[in-house]
């Protein structure tokens, strides 16, 4: 089994309900065990500011799925939520599920880059990750705890418990 960390984000169509529904779907995934769930965080948009605020969370999943099979499953959940795959990389989204880490693997392909490029730069990823994996060391040797202590909070707030 591998240990993967997944980032969840939403800023459309009742973000809190979207994250809760995604969590329920992650719990049902075959060959996956949802092992940890962060709090739900309220966060200001990174990128264009003319979009609603976000809800974000991070979960840990033990899985026997390969990274690409896991990605397929996550994209199916995004599509079920009504996510449109158009060119809106920096725009509002109903549901975003990103593989942040997959064990200590480094993956750099057209479909998948792991560790996720935003991991160390985004408070709404790093702080929920630190909540559930404060002792984690990234593949490049950086400590999640130290990175989380240093990053600008940018108005990030714990909104509620998910578990
Ligand atoms: N901003 C926040 N706060 N949370 C996100 O999940 C998020 N996702 C994105 C962009 C548009 C970069 N901004 C975000 O994809």
For residue 88, the model assigns a pLDDT of 75
pLDDT at 85 over 90: no
80: domain CATH number is 3.30.70.560
Range of the domain at 127: 2-161
pLDDT in tens, 147-159: 999 999 999 999 9
What is the rounded CA–CA span in Å between residue 58 and residue 36?
A: 8
Quote the DSSP letter at residue 45.
Answer: P
CB of 45 closer than 6 A to ligand 1? yes
pLDDT confidence band for 87 (50 / 70 / 90): low
CB of 124 closer than 6 A to ligand 1? yes
Question: What SS3 class is residue 84?
Answer: coil
**Domains contained in the chain, number:** 1
| Whole-structure pTM value | 0.97
Closest CA to 90 of 57, 114, 54, 138: 54
């Amino acid at each position: 089994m591998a240990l993967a960390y997944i980032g969840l984000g939403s800023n459309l169509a009742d973000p809190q309900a979207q994250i809760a529904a995604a969590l329920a779907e992650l719990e049902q995934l075959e060959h996956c065990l949802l092992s940890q769930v962060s709090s739900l965080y309220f966060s200001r948009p990174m990128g264009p500011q003319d979009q609603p605020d976000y809800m974000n969370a991070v979960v840990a999943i033990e899985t026997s799925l390969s990274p690409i099979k896991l990605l397929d499953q996550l994209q199916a959940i995004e599509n079920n939520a009504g996510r449109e795959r158009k060119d809106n990389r920096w725009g509002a989204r109903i549901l975003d599920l990103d593989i942040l880490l997959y064990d200590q693997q480094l993956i750099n392909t057209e479909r998948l880059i792991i560790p996720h490029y935003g991991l160390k730069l985004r408070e709404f990823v790093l702080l929920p990750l630190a909540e559930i994996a404060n002792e984690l060391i990234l593949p490049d040797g950086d400590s999640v705890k130290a990175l989380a202590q240093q990053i600008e909070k940018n108005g990030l707030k714990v909104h509620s418990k998910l578990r």
